[in-house]
Amino acid sequence: MFEILKKRAITEEVFMMELFVPHIAKKRKAGQFIIIRVDEVGERIPLTIADADPEAGIIRICFQVVGTTTYKLSRLEVGQRLADVVGPLGRPTHIEKFGRVVCVGGGVGVAPLYPITKAMKEAGNHTIGIIGARTKALLILEDEMRAICDELLISTDDGSYGHKGFVTDLLRQILERPEKVNQVVAIGPPIMMKFVCKLTKEFDVPTIVSLNPIMVDGTGMCGACRVEVGGETKFCCVDGPEFDGHAVNWELFMQRLTAYKPQEQLSYKLIREKTGGK
């Protein structure tokens, strides 16, 4: 159990892995996530399930190296095992035939967006994908998204590929078309999701976002993942991870994400020094 079957470096910072966890692969639905521990003394972190093969008992995860745990995870190789993989957790994405659905992904957020986009397409929706990254080298899953979207638009901050600018530039173009957009799904950096929601509110288009706050147990017991939605406290692990983007208190959410930043940076620095930065 919990064996790494495949590992691929998409960029120097982003990795894709396939894990053997048949009980999760059989039950997982679009939008759900897992919590892992790399080793017995490691912290617990949530990772969204990017895809699954229930027959083979395999799930796919995609992650960016941003701290100690993702760094340790990136150093594991095929054949090694994780200490824990718990899931599937969270509420699945609500899938129905909305009509015209725009799925917006930024950075590593394209990975969890993929199964949602696929499910939306299979439900009979006209799917338009917008994916973006800082630069072309960091863009992921373009071919996979193109295969399931009726239309795919791409942006890079530096203009190295596709539209030079942000995903919101392309989203505005779509929202200004004569054809009505019935639903938007956005997953990516918090600042990206915030501005996607600000734009869609202007056009009165329902928007779902997937939040990834600090999380510990994943069962609603610790309260570490609390977010404010519509003026009420919600636990992302059991009430989410998806919420109405127009109701999220974005300022509070982003503030809470930085609560342990100094400790995280110190831990990351020490583990890199201990391993020679490799």
Per-residue pLDDT of the chain (278 residues; tens, 9 = 90+): 799 999 999 888 889 999 999 999 999 999 999 999 999 988 999 998 999 999 999 999 999 998 999 999 999 999 999 999 999 999 999 999 999 999 999 999 999 999 999 999 999 999 999 999 999 988 989 999 999 999 999 999 999 999 999 999 999 999 999 999 999 999 999 999 999 999 999 999 999 999 999 898 888 888 899 999 999 999 999 999 999 999 999 999 999 998 888 999 999 899 888 887 65
Q: Do 3-89 and 100-257 fold alike per CATH?
A: no
pTM of the shown model: 0.90
Quote the tokens at residue 262: 């100094």
- Topology of the domain covering 100-257: Rossmann fold (3.40.50)
User: What are the E-state strand segments in 111-150?
Assistant: 126-133
pLDDT at 194 (0 to 100): 97
In this structure, whether the domain defined by 3-89 belongs to CATH 2.40.30.10 is answered with: yes
Report the SS3 class of residue 144: helix
Q: For residue 67, how many other CB atoms are within 10 A of its CB?
A: 17
Tens-digit pLDDT profile for residues 208-235: 999 999 898 888 888 899 999 999 999 9
Structural domain spans, the chain: 3-89, 100-257
Q: With contact defined as beta carbons under 8 Å apart, do 260 and 68 qualify? A: no
